Amino acid sequence: MTHRHLLPNEIDLLLDEESGFGVRPLREHVRGCADCRDRLDAAKRVASRLSELPLIAPRYGMADRVMAQVPVFVPWHEAARDAVTPWIPTGRVPRLAAAAVTGVAGTLITGGTLWVAARGDLVATLTGLAGEGAQAAATDAAGSFVVAVFGPQVVTVMQQMGAWGLVAAAGGFAAASLATIVGLRHVATTTRARS
Amino acid sequence: MKPSSVLDLANLPDADVVALAQRGREPAYRELIRRYERPVFSLVYRMVRDRELAEDLTQDTFIKVLSHIEKYRSEFKFSSWLFKIANNVAIDHLRRRQLNTVSMDGSPHATNADLTQATSFELPTHDETPLQELEARELGSEIERAISRLRPEYRACILLRHVEDKSYEEIAATLDLPLGTVKTYIHRARHELRKLLDHLREDGAETPVEEPL
């Protein structure tokens, strides 16, 4: 037991209900000393009044006022997840089924891609065939257009003359188109001037 | 973690709600405001003793914290971070006000309660506005007036200790003060409050603490 009155920091130790080696003698002293008990009671009364202070509410709508000025940042991976989430079934069985279908599809696509990549010659052949097909289709379409516009004789002449014939025909067509446009514009201008 | 739409945010610990806010979930932001608007407002209001100003400073605090929520590190308690910003906002304001005006609460250089009281003054009362009446009801009790006479640093420490029930270590972390300084401030604050409220013990009565509206 302590034979002197407690120091202010010792009163604080008791007030904060500290436990430890040095606190027990302080408690014993307080039990036997009316003066120190009185001081501790006064300190407890103040602490009690403080802890009973009510929380005060701000004006209604604090969250709205704050959120109006806070930019909510959504990371890209969260945004992507949000976009995908609605497509994921909620039930356990549908989810397992969806996972199985996705897994099978993914495996097939991956396997197919790897198989095609491993066969470079096949890819080249298929690409060549596709290119030739596209070229033939384009030539046919152009030939049909020329036949419809100039007649089959022109096509025969162009075939006989080869590439130069094609260039001469294209040049002649361009010149004729230009002459037609200029002529029509001249006629229109003259007609407007007369009226 | 489940998506926030199917979670009961009110039952989640702070760290989980903050994690959801960091993932861009607006309901989580609102939940944090809902949890802490009263404690933060109470602290700031008791620091500045002006309701409208406390509203603005509380709002500033939340805007600062939530706008930088991605910077929050989970090893620090969210409430400590929030109270740190709130305290800084309030103290900054009080410092600015000290530079601009004469304090009714006493000289800023007063080193104890007697000097503070001796250098404080009160304006003659006129008709109070409804807001002033509300403030008088909320902060008019003896204990609230006694708190207002403490230095702001003491005020913050004593409020965090006894109203928010924070440990000395948490207060030290919140206010960026050494642990010893926090203990000293709280000790001095208690001592001054005891002196300021001593007459109540002799009178045996106190103006009752009224509930807020």
CATH of the domain at B72: 1.10.1740.10
**Percent of chain B whose predicted confidence (pLDDT) is above 70:** 75
Predicted pLDDT of residue A106: 93
- pLDDT, tens digit, 9 for 90 and up, residues B81-134: 999 999 999 999 988 877 665 555 565 556 666 666 665 655 555 567 777 777
Q: Are residues B15 and B77 in the same domain?
A: yes
Q: Which two tokens stand for residue B179?
A: 């642990």
Q: Which two tokens stand for residue B26?
A: 């607006």
Predicted pLDDT of residue B104: 55
Q: Are residues A157 and A124 in the same domain?
A: no
Whether B37 and A15 lie within 8 Å, measured CB to CB: no
Domain termination site, one of B59, B86, B101: B101
Per-residue burial over A100-132, b = 16 or more CB atoms within 10 Å of its CB, e = otherwise? eeeeeeeeeeeeeeeeeeeeeeeeeeeeeeeee
What's B176's domain CATH number?
1.10.10.10
Q: Is residue A35 part of a domain?
A: yes
- pLDDT, tens digit, 9 for 90 and up, residues B11-28: 899 999 999 999 889 999
Q: Are residues A155 and A127 in the same domain?
A: no
- pLDDT, greater one: B144 or B200: B144
Whether A46 and B193 lie within 8 Å, measured CB to CB: yes
Q: Are residues A145 and A172 in the same domain?
A: no
Instruction: Please give the radius of gyration of chain A, using alpha carbons only, rounded to the nearest integer.
Output: 48
Predicted pLDDT of residue B212: 39
- pLDDT, tens digit, 9 for 90 and up, residues B50-95: 999 999 999 999 999 999 998 888 888 899 999 999 999 999 998 8
Asked if the model's pLDDT at residue A181 lies above 50, the reply is yes
Q: Are residues B162 and B177 in the same domain?
A: yes
Most A CBs within 10 Å, among B9, B134, B162, B169, to test the A interface? B162
Q: Please identify among residues 68-97 of chain A the ones whose CB lies closer than 8 Å to any CB of chain B.
A: 69-75, 78-79, 85
Predicted pLDDT of residue B81: 93
Q: Are residues B110 and B177 in the same domain?
A: yes
Helix (H) or strand (E) holding B79: helix B78-100
Whether A58 and B38 lie within 8 Å, measured CB to CB: yes
Predicted pLDDT of residue B205: 47
Q: Are residues B12 and B114 in the same domain?
A: no
Residues of chain A neighbouring B183 (CB-CB closer than 8 A): 9, 12
User: Who among B24, B159, B194 is closest to A72 (CB)?
Assistant: B24
Predicted pLDDT of residue B210: 40
Q: Is residue A97 part of a domain?
A: no
Q: Is residue A168 part of a domain?
A: yes
Whether B67 and A8 lie within 8 Å, measured CB to CB: no
Asked if the model's pLDDT at residue B202 lies above 60, the reply is no
Q: Are residues B93 and B135 in the same domain?
A: no
Q: Is residue A71 part of a domain?
A: no
Residues of chain A neighbouring B144 (CB-CB closer than 8 A): 53
Predicted pLDDT of residue A162: 75
**Which amino acid is located at B146 in the chain?**
A
Residue of B nearest to A38 (CA): B201
User: A45 touching B, CB under 8 A?
Assistant: yes
Predicted pLDDT of residue A66: 95
Domain that holds residue B125: 106-213
Whether B39 and A55 lie within 8 Å, measured CB to CB: yes
Predicted pLDDT of residue B206: 46
Q: How far apart are CA B125 and CA B102, in angstroms?
A: 18
Q: Is residue A155 part of a domain?
A: yes
Total number of domains in chain A: 3
Asked if the model's pLDDT at residue B207 lies above 70, the reply is no
Q: Which two tokens stand for residue A128?
A: 């060549």
Q: Which two tokens stand for residue B124?
A: 């003659």
Residue of B nearest to A72 (CA): B24
- pLDDT, tens digit, 9 for 90 and up, residues B31-50: 999 999 999 999 999 999 89
Q: Is residue A182 part of a domain?
A: yes
Min Cα distance A44 → chain B (Å) is: 10
User: Who among A8, A65, A72 is closest to B26 (CB)?
Assistant: A72
Residues of chain A neighbouring B193 (CB-CB closer than 8 A): 46, 50
Q: Are residues B44 and B91 in the same domain?
A: yes
Asked if the model's pLDDT at residue B173 lies above 70, the reply is yes
**β strands within B149-203, DSSP E:** none
Predicted pLDDT of residue A74: 80
Q: Are residues B144 and B48 in the same domain?
A: no
Q: Are residues B141 and B204 in the same domain?
A: yes
User: Who among B3, B37, B158 is closest to A50 (CB)?
Assistant: B158
Q: Are residues B111 and B212 in the same domain?
A: yes
Q: Are residues B113 and B211 in the same domain?
A: yes
Predicted pLDDT of residue A72: 86
Most B CBs within 10 Å, among A53, A56, A76, to test the B interface? A56
Classify residue A142 as exposed, middle or buried by CB count within 10 Å of its CB (0-12, 13-18, 19+): exposed
Q: How far apart are CA B53 and CA B92, in angstroms?
A: 13
Q: Are residues B209 and B123 in the same domain?
A: yes
Q: Is residue A29 part of a domain?
A: yes
Q: Is residue A133 part of a domain?
A: yes
User: Who among A58, A73, A85 is closest to B58 (CB)?
Assistant: A58
- pLDDT, greater one: A93 or B199: A93
Per-residue burial over B128-154, b = 16 or more CB atoms within 10 Å of its CB, e = otherwise? eeeeeebbeebbebbbbebbbbbbbbb
Predicted pLDDT of residue A85: 80
Domain that holds residue A34: 8-51
Residues of chain B neighbouring A77 (CB-CB closer than 8 A): none
DSSP letters along chain A, please? --SSPPPHHHHHHHHTT--STTHHHHHHHHHH-HHHHHHHHHHHHHHHHHHTPPP----TTHHHHHHTT-PPP--HHHHHHHHHGGGS-SSHHHHHHHHHHHHHHHHHHHHHHHHHHH-HHHHHHHHHHHHHHHHHHHHHHHHHHHHHHH-HHHHHHHHHHHHHHHHHHHHHHHHHHHHHHHHHHHHHHHHHHH-
* Mean pLDDT lowest among A95-109, A110-124, A130-144: A110-124
A4: left (phi over 0), alpha (psi -120 to 50) or beta: beta
Domain termination site, one of B58, B77, B101: B101
Distances (CA, A) of A132 to A120, A124, A127, A129, B58: 18, 12, 9, 5, 74
Total number of domains in chain B: 2
HEC string for B104-138: CCCCCCCCCHHHHHHHCCCCCCCCCCHHHHHHHHH
Q: Are residues B143 and B81 in the same domain?
A: no
Q: Which two tokens stand for residue A64?
A: 């709205």
Q: How far apart are CA B91 and CA B177, in angstroms?
A: 14
pLDDT confidence tier of residue A144, bands split at 50, 70 and 90:
confident
The mean pLDDT value for A50-73 works out to 91
